[in-house]
Every structure is written in C-alpha cells, then in structure tokens.
Structure 1
Amino acid sequence: MAGYFNEISDDEKAERPSALVDETVKFVHAIRKYILGLLMFQFVSPFLRHYFPYFKNKSDDYIQNIKFINQRMDTIIKRRRQEIENTPLDKPLPNDMLTSIITANTLRDVNYNKIDDKEAMRPVTDLEIRGIIFDGIIAGTDTTANLISFIVYYLAHHPDVKRKMFDEVDRIFQDDKTRPITESDVHKLKYCEAIVKEVARIFSVVNSFPRSLEKPDEIGGYQWPADTMLRINIDAIHHNEEYWEEPNKFNPDRWMVEGFEPKKNSFIMFGGGLRICPGRKLAMIELICLTALIFRKYDIDLIDKKAPLKTESATVTACTELLVDIKLRN
C-alpha cells in the first residue's frame, strides 16, 4: 500500500518496477510484524524487555521494525509534499487521502480561513500525518482484508448461505456482472450485510481491545484503581448465550429478522464509546460492496474444506493461508 499503490497513474495497467513491488511486500510484512509485536509492549514489563536476553532481543527487533515503518512513511509523505509544492496552484491535484491531509488548512484547501481559530486551522505536521496514515493502514486495511478472508471461509462451509447470497446479488445486478455498484445497490444488499455482521460476530478480527480507567471503579466484583488498563474480551461477548441465541452457530438469518437489534454492547464489531472506529460506515460499505462484487462474478470454494483455518492472533487475528478454488459463475 505504501509503495505499490503510492504510485498514482491514470493507466490502471501501468507497469511497476519489480523493486517497488518487492519493497511493498517488505512493508506489508513489516506491518504484520508490528501488529504481532504490540503484545510485547502491552504485556511484558519494561524490566524484562530491558534485562532478559530473550525479551530484549525480541523488543529490539520490534523497535527496529517500527523505525523501518516510520522511515518508509516519512519518505512517502515528504515526496508527496514536494510534489504538491511543485504543482502550480491553478493545477488540480490527485484526489487521494494523503494529498488531502497534506493540503488541509493551506491555500489549496477550499475551507481555508473559514474558521477563526489558528490552532484548529494550522496545517498538519508530518508527524501527525504519519499517525493518521498509520491508523488508516492498520485499522482500515488489515482488518478489512482479513474479514474478507473469513467471509470466504464461512461461505464455503455453508453452501445454503452462499446460495441465498447468490440469489440476492443476481436479483440486484441481473445479468450485468460489470456495471459499477451504486448507493442504491448497497442499501438493497441486506443479506450481504447480514453475512458481514455474522462473520464479524462469530470470528472477531479484533478479539479484544484495551480501556484505561479514569477513576477507581468496581468491575466483576473487584476494586480497580485509576489508570488500570483492562482488556474487553470481544470474542467472549460475541459468544455469550445471554446475548445471542445459539451463539456458536453461523446464522446470518438472525440479522434478517424484522426489528432485530443486538442487545446494547453485545455486538462490538468496531469498538465502542468515544473511541469507536471513525471509519466504521466506510468499512461496512467496503465489505458489503466487495462481497457482492466478488461473488456476482465468481464462485469461490476451499481446496480442502477439512483443513483448519490458519491464523495468527495478536491485537488482530490475521488469516495466514487460505487455499481457494476460484471459478467464473455462469
């Protein structure tokens, strides 16, 4: 993403140098390593990380990996900033996320000087841009990509569900397997949405998330002091019989019942509270559209349905291997 897709071109079939592709693959692996390494800094004490050889070597390796990621993103930001500075003000710029962030609160911003607050209207620094882009990569691409893999896996194991999805997709798109999807289509793809939600419930990509107590509180019958970090077990909530009927059963139809609404805080696909995922609506649209666009044209099955789902779990549960057979639908 930070290499291959950073090359903006009007030609979708433009060739990319193999070195750029290799660098992109290296960056993707670094992101995965970062996600797995987060647990080291959340659960292993600084004393162990600094003085015990095993933990110190691991910690040092993860720190070097973070430095590589930061350097790579800084290079991309500086290069794009230079490209923007070299572009005349009367010439349009590419309409991408990075360009939009860099030009925010500058002369190129349509809202420039509309708000009388110098701090709110100051340009975004490179360090802030790096944080925003990094959040976008971690929370906006890796989670979505893994959930799509799990959707393919569960549909392959539940042909009745897949058949219902095919019926919905065929009804909406008719025989046209190439036309762009519209906003109206997204609203009609109710069963595709149900599948996305049910996969997210039964196999959470993010199986827990942390919260820090602002003040002392009693939780689970225990007293906890302020600043205690707690982890909310999303997977346990999504499989709790108090909240879900047959919680271990994959059943997208539960979401199709008229008036159905999960009990409060029993479905935590995007977190909750003030720090709920800001991109949740975009993510749902992406997942629904991608599911429909893939399966309106292709039928995807597993090579070996008896093979266990191969994953790695840290802060995110990632699909490490999914061997599939892809066929054109008639």
Structure 2
Amino acid sequence: MSIAEAYDTPVSLKPLVPPAPPRAPDNMTAFQQVRAIRQNPIGAWTQRAYEEEIVTGRFFGRGSFILNTPDAIKHVLVDNYENYTRTRFAMRVLRPIVGEGLLVAEGRPWKHQRRTLAPAFTPRAVTTLIPHMVSATDETIAKLKAASNGPVDLREAMQRMTLEIAGRTMFSFGMDRHGPALRDFVTDYGDRLARPRFLDMVFPLNWPTPQDFARRRFRKRWTKFIDMLMAERRAAGKREGAPPRDLFELMLDARDPETGHAFTEEQLGDEVATMILAGHETTATALFWSLYLLALDPAVQEELAAEVRAANGNFDLERLKFTRAVLDETMRLYPSVFLIARAAEQRDTIAGMPVRKNDMVFISPWLLHRHEKLWRDPNVFMPSRFMAPSPPPDRFAYLPFGVGARICIGAHFALVEATLALAKMIGAFRISLVDKAPVMPVGVVTTQPDRSPMFAITPR
C-alpha cells in the first residue's frame, strides 16, 4: 500500500505528460539550425535524437556527435575526459559570470580548485548549513501564507528563497539589501548576453565578438559587486576558536591537500560567484518545475503531502523518499543543465567511430532523460520510477548533476536544500495553477520556464 492509499488521497487515472517544445524538422539548413538554437536550443533537436544511440552530423564545418548511449558517455566524461574540453561558445558565455572558477577551469587549475573546495561540500559540512536552509524556507512559507488570498508567483518566490539560502550559507547574512541587485545581474545576463549569436559560434575564442564587448562590461560590474559582498562578510569577522559557520569561512580556510596553497583573492571571488550563481539559480529552477508538475498532478501532490504528514515534523531525508523521487523525476524531465558540449582536443574513437581534433561532442541530459530506448514512457511524469522496487537508472543515462570527475561539487548540498524546501512547501500548502496555459521550457544556460505562471496556494 502506498502512502497515498493509506490517506485515501486521489489516484491519477491518466498519466501526466508535461509540456515540451515540438521537435525540430529533419534536414534543417545551417542557418535554420542557428535560428532554432537561438530561439530555444531545447526545441532544436529532431525526432532522430530521441531514438538513435548516436547521431552524427556537421556543426559549422566540424564533425558532431550527439551521444545517447551510456558506454559512449562514460568514455567521454570518465574514461577519456581530459581529451574533451568546453566549447568556445560555452567559455564565452560562462567566463564573464564565473571567471576562472571551478565551472570552467581545465587541467591543473581545475584539479587544484576541486581538491581545495571538496571539504566544504562533504555531507558533514553540508549538515552544518541546514539551519540556514530551514530558516529561510520557513520565512518564505510565512510570507506566502500572508499572501495566500490571491494569486502568487512561485517562481519568483523560489528564486528569492534560494537566493536567501545562498546568501546565508555563503556569508551568514541575509540578502534583503543585495538580493534585488543580484537578481538584476542574473536576469540581465540571461536575457541579453547568454543566448548564442552566429559569430559566438564561428569566431575563434581570441577573436572578440560584439557580444563579447558587452560581456566584458558586465564582467567589470559583476566582479565589483562580488568584491563588495566579500568585503562586507570580512567586516563581520570570524569567531575566534569557533568552527567555520558558512561557506565563505570554509573557503577562506581551505588549502589544497597536495600543495598547501589557498585561493588567491581573485580565485576566491570567482569561486564565490560560481557557488552563489549555481547554488541559487539551479535549485530555484528545480523547485519551480517540481511545484509546477505537482500542480498539474494533484494525486502525486497529495502523496507527497501524506509523506510529510507521516514524518510529523521530522524532516530527516530518510523519511522523505517520495519527496526525493519527485525531485529526481522533475530533474529527469526538466534537467537544470540541458546540454553538455565538448570539443575534442585530440583524435579519438567513440563507439568505433573516429573523432577528429576539434570535433564537437554533445551530451544532452534533456535528450538522454527522454530517450525512447532508455526509459519506459519517457515523456510521462512518474516519480515511482525512482522508488523501490523499480531498479535505479543507469548511472550514465541519468545526469542531473553530470558524472565523472566533473560531477557537480554541490550536488549533495542542492539535493538536501531542494528536498527540505519541497517537503515544507507541500506540507504547508495545497498548490494549483490559476493560469492553465502550458509553460514551455527554454534553454538559457539552465532549463527555464518561458514565463512565470500564477499559482493559487491554500494553507493545509
């Protein structure tokens, strides 16, 4: 008997197939392909990409491979990952906002950063940050209760909440004063500078495009803002003899276990920018899509609410297995990172096919998670696929946080934060949609909704 049956909650009679963009036609010209990618990369793939294990083609004069087979993905992201580096477009888009931080570093600098940061994201370290997560979530719920007599924008609420959590876990202070400026930075960059332009994809990285000049101007303002946040945190001081109370102190104290080196001031700023940006934006997106799917599927929502009631206020993650399954299924259907693009540094062979230097390799969690040979009913919202007795998915067929050496260092942090927040939200409210028009996912750095629908929330 399921939790839902135990509480006499409704059972879905029809499986939910959530909105997704129509698939692109075959045989698009290069110009049509660029236009489709610029409009929405998620809608630029054809039906072949959802059916075939490897799709080969040409991309601006170079060979291209879309990989949808676990063995080939393992080869590129694990077995020979040093041969596959970020593409020129990815570097153009990411560097202005994360600098040379962990997200874009390669080779020895990346290994130094990864080793140095790793202790700050262990499960034990994350546990010390849970009170920050809980307090910010409880405050958000209190504000939403006060506004529950009218339509609410849960996307904005989740962005504000995760930003508050990012600020408190990073600096031990709230983001009331700095949150609006930070949101403006992120929104401005996503709207103006993160979308691909033709020259971004064809020019060598050392040839600046018109967009690159605008990105450099953004970079100067953004770096100044991050420096101001760090200066404010330093002014608050450190408690003598006490253990680190936030990520900033952990990162200040961090030393590379092999070299003993700490981060330079510039490196520290890039890591702070990376963690704040990735930490709040991706989690806010995952929470929005979870709430949207639960509003579309009231039976699943009530099953999750029943699990929260059964936990009786004890938000131990071991008691929230169905909540975690809802998040897992949400990240399958709407992965925050919709595309992993790599360029081959040297010749290689993938699944018996020759790869030349500079060829493009694409691994798309969006495609992979909906591939017809890897999933049963791939387009259906079905959290039970992540619950026993269902077998776990192949490690290289489900990549919400990547895989291999470059797996997201904050994956555990994000899962703890999102699971606690989703459980508390559904434990507090019954959620439905005021706006019934479909919300479409759009690929802009992360998998964003094309608009913010209005929700109705009723306190339970």
TM-score range, shorter chain: 0.7 to 0.9
State how 1:41-190 maps to structure 2 within 5 Å.
43-46=200-203, 56=210, 58-84=211-237, 90=240, 92=242, 95-104=245-254, 120-173=259-312, 179=313, 181-182=314-315, 185-190=316-321
* Separation (CA, whole Å) in 2 of partners of 1:279 and 1:8: 18
Q: Is the 8 A contact 1:156 1:162 kept in 2?
A: yes
* Separation (CA, whole Å) in 1 of partners of 2:309 and 2:240: 45
* Separation (CA, whole Å) in 2 of partners of 1:7 and 1:214: 39
Q: Is the 8 A contact 2:285 2:336 kept in 1?
A: yes
Secondary structure of 1:223's counterpart equals: strand
1:93 deviates by 8.2
State how 1:1-330 maps to structure 2 within 5 Å.
1=163, 8=172, 20=178, 22-30=180-188, 32-33=190-191, 37=194, 39=196, 43-46=200-203, 56=210, 58-84=211-237, 90=240, 92=242, 95-104=245-254, 120-173=259-312, 179=313, 181-182=314-315, 185-219=316-350, 222-258=353-389, 260-305=391-436, 307-319=437-449, 320-329=451-460
Instruction: Tell me the amino acid that sits aligned with residue 65 of structure 1.
Output: F
Q: Is the 8 A contact 2:309 2:427 kept in 1?
A: yes
* Separation (CA, whole Å) in 1 of partners of 2:271 and 2:349: 34
Q: Is the 8 A contact 2:333 2:370 kept in 1?
A: yes
* Separation (CA, whole Å) in 1 of partners of 2:438 and 2:420: 27
1:166 deviates by 1.5
Q: Which aligned segments of 4 or more residues in structure 1 are displaced greater than 6 angstroms? A: none
Query: 1:8–1:172: structure 2 CA closer, same or farther, 3 Å change rule?
Result: closer
* Separation (CA, whole Å) in 2 of partners of 1:140 and 1:4: 10
1:226 deviates by 3.5
Moved more, 225-234 or 67-76: 225-234
Query: 1:42–1:172: structure 2 CA closer, same or farther, 3 Å change rule?
Result: farther
* Separation (CA, whole Å) in 2 of partners of 1:165 and 1:259: 18
The share of aligned pairs that are identical, in percent, is 24
Q: Is the 8 A contact 1:208 1:235 kept in 2?
A: yes
* Separation (CA, whole Å) in 2 of partners of 1:291 and 1:315: 23
TM-score by length of 1: 0.77
Residue by residue, what CA displacement relative to the aligned partner does 1:150-194 show, whole Å, maximum 9, x if unpaired? 001111111111121122111112xxxxx5x44xx2112111111
Secondary structure of 2:194's counterpart equals: helix
* Separation (CA, whole Å) in 2 of partners of 1:46 and 1:39: 12
TM-score by length of 2: 0.57
* Separation (CA, whole Å) in 1 of partners of 2:426 and 2:246: 28
* Separation (CA, whole Å) in 2 of partners of 1:236 and 1:24: 31
1:27 deviates by 3.3
Residue by residue, what CA displacement relative to the aligned partner does 1:245-292 show, whole Å, maximum 9, x if unpaired? 010111111122315111241111110111011121221111111110
Secondary structure of 1:321's counterpart equals: coil
RMSD: 3.3
Q: Is the 8 A contact 1:37 1:62 kept in 2?
A: no
1:29 deviates by 2.7
1:44 deviates by 2.3
Query: 1:290–1:99: structure 2 CA closer, same or farther, 3 Å change rule?
Result: same
Q: Is the 8 A contact 1:311 1:317 kept in 2?
A: yes
Higher relative contact order (CA 8 A, sep 6+): 2
Secondary structure of 2:341's counterpart equals: strand
* Separation (CA, whole Å) in 1 of partners of 2:317 and 2:302: 19
* Separation (CA, whole Å) in 2 of partners of 1:162 and 1:271: 28
Q: Is the 8 A contact 1:74 1:126 kept in 2?
A: no
* Separation (CA, whole Å) in 2 of partners of 1:42 and 1:94: 46
Query: 1:222–1:26: structure 2 CA closer, same or farther, 3 Å change rule?
Result: same
| Structure 2 unpaired stretches of 5+ | 1-162
Q: Is the 8 A contact 2:172 2:246 kept in 1?
A: no
